[in-house]
Amino acid sequence: MRTAWVKRSPEAIFDPWEIEPTITLAGLEGLAKRIKKAHDA
The 10s digit of each residue's pLDDT in 1-41 is: 788 888 888 888 877 778 788 888 888 998 999 889 888 97
> Which candidate, 5, 8, 3, places its Cα nearest to that of 27?
8
Distances (CA, A) of 11 to 7, 22, 26, 30: 9, 20, 12, 21
- Rounded Cα distance between 25 and 34, Å, is 9
Query: Measured on CA atoms in the order 37, 5, 22, 1, is the torsion positive or negative?
Result: negative
- Residue extents of the structural domains in the chain: 1-7+20-41
The pTM of the full predicted model, rounded to 2 decimals, is 0.60
Distances (CA, A) of 39 to 13, 15, 24, 27: 27, 25, 15, 19
